[in-house]
């Protein structure tokens, strides 16, 4: 999604004091290009609420000019920043994060969703050492067994060879991206040439074989080689049971999915950098600039069905009313108040 369409603000729930992220998207530009992707993201966020390793939506609502996503906020930053600041990860921590990623990816695939933009910037950490996969703006739905597509999507350096070659592809492209991310985690580097030019990245992905540092054990190397297999039909994740690979021998999957495994590493959080001054959602909405040219009632119908409230979240608090889109026939509820300090989403890595 183009950066000018998007603003993200930090929020806090007035009752639970939980921090939340509020993503604000202008409607008008969506009328011409990204409406379908934005509505798709809303649907995927609803599905994601069923998995503890995916960022889900507490609620979505709209005004006449903007769409609002009220989402979970993680205070440990993203995996890209963490690796940049700390270098390669301890193998046990990398294995733990990889196992949580596997659970999240498999949940998406079980529900017919391919992420298509898995990368370290879209892997968010909490203050306890757990992760959640985020950013479903490039996802594709209804990709159940046997179905393929051809549309190009993703971030250079993490895109599977079959997509680069404009071949039809399936969910195996996510396992390729997962392999690149795991290589990032255990080496601190990219397995292929990470030159700034897209052509170089594409050529390297298609032609080069990754080098594996000698400090990687045979099991880790075998796992990475099976993930970074250029033939999608042979790629681990698509073929075979990824959970049974020896790399995950120490993982108790039932305990992991139940949230009972203690992460082997505790990352520092960024919460100390967040302003604690808040204002109400109504005040925040009023400060978002109104479009000079009103959107017609006919075009407003394109956003029918956008408003949503996660029942599990709303029953955990005593909700107060949040203004829905006046005149649009949709309302929502939340007890959130938005912090005055706002920030812009990081631009896609090149």
Q: Which residues are catalytic?
A: 117
Query: How far apart (Å, rounded) are the C-alpha atoms in residues 134 and 324?
Result: 25
- Neighbouring residues of 60: CB distance < 8 A, sequence distance ≥ 6: 42, 45, 67, 68, 69, 70, 306, 307, 308, 332
Query: How far apart (Å, rounded) are the C-alpha atoms in residues 221 and 301?
Result: 52
Task: Tell me which H or E stretch contains 85.
Answer: helix 79-86
Instruction: Reduce the DSSP state of residue 92 to 3 states and report it.
Output: helix
- Other C-beta atoms lying within 10 Å of the C-beta of residue 175: 24
> Taking a C-beta distance cutoff of 8 angstroms, is the pair 78, 120 a contact?
yes
How deeply is 276 buried, as exposed, middle or buried, from its count of CB atoms within 10 A (0-12, 13-18, 19+)? exposed
> Taking a C-beta distance cutoff of 8 angstroms, is the pair 185, 126 a contact?
no
Look at residues 160, 162, 161, 213 and name the one whose alpha carbon lies nearest to residue 183: 213
> Taking a C-beta distance cutoff of 8 angstroms, is the pair 270, 77 a contact?
yes
Query: How far apart (Å, rounded) are the C-alpha atoms in residues 226 and 211?
Result: 14
Question: Encoding tokens for residue 182?
Answer: 């795991």
> Taking a C-beta distance cutoff of 8 angstroms, is the pair 41, 303 a contact?
no
Measured CA angle at 55 (ends 152, 64), to 5 deg = 80
Question: Which pairing describes strands 57-62 and 308-309: parallel, antiparallel, or unpaired?
Answer: antiparallel
Look at residues 174, 109, 132, 135 and name the one whose alpha carbon lies nearest to residue 259: 132
Query: How far apart (Å, rounded) are the C-alpha atoms in residues 247 and 37?
Result: 36
């Amino acid at each position: 999604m183009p950066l000018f369409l998007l603003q993200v603000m930090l929020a806090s729930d007035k009752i639970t004091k939980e921090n939340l992220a509020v993503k604000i998207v202008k409607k008008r530009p969506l009328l011409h290009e990204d409406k379908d992707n934005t509505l798709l993201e809303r649907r995927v966020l609803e599905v994601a609420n069923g998995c503890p390793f995916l960022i889900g939506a507490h609620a979505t609502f709209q005004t006449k000019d903007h769409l609002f996503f009220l989402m979970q906020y993680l205070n440990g930053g993203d995996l890209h920043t963490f690796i940049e600041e700390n270098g390669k990860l301890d193998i046990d921590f990398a294995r733990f994060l990889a196992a949580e990623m596997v659970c999240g990816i498999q949940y998406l695939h079980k529900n017919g969703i391919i992420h298509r933009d898995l990368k370290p910037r879209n892997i968010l950490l909490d203050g306890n050492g757990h992760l959640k996969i985020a950013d479903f703006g490039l996802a594709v739905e209804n990709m159940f067994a046997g179905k393929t597509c051809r549309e190009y999507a993703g971030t250079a350096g993490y895109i599977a060879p079959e997509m680069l070659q404009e071949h039809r592809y399936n969910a195996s492209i996510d396992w390729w991206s997962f392999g690149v991310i795991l290589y990032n985690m255990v080496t601190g580097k990219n397995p292929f040439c990470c030159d700034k030019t897209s052509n170089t990245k594409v050529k390297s992905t298609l032609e080069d074989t990754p080098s594996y540092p000698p400090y990687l054990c045979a099991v880790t190397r075998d796992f990475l080689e099976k993930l970074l297999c250029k033939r999608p039909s042979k790629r681990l994740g698509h073929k075979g049971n990824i959970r049974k690979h020896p790399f995950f021998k120490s993982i108790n999957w039932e305990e992991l999915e139940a949230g009972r495994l203690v992460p082997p590493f505790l990352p520092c959080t960024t919460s100390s950098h967040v302003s604690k001054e808040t204002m109400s959602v109504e005040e925040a909405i009023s400060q978002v600039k109104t479009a000079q040219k009103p959107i017609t009632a006919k075009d407003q119908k394109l956003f029918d069905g956008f408003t949503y409230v996660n029942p599990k979240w709303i029953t955990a608090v005593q909700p107060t009313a949040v203004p829905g889109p006046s005149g649009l026939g949709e309302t929502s509820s939340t007890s959130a108040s938005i912090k005055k300090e706002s920030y812009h989403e990081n631009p896609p890595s090149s």
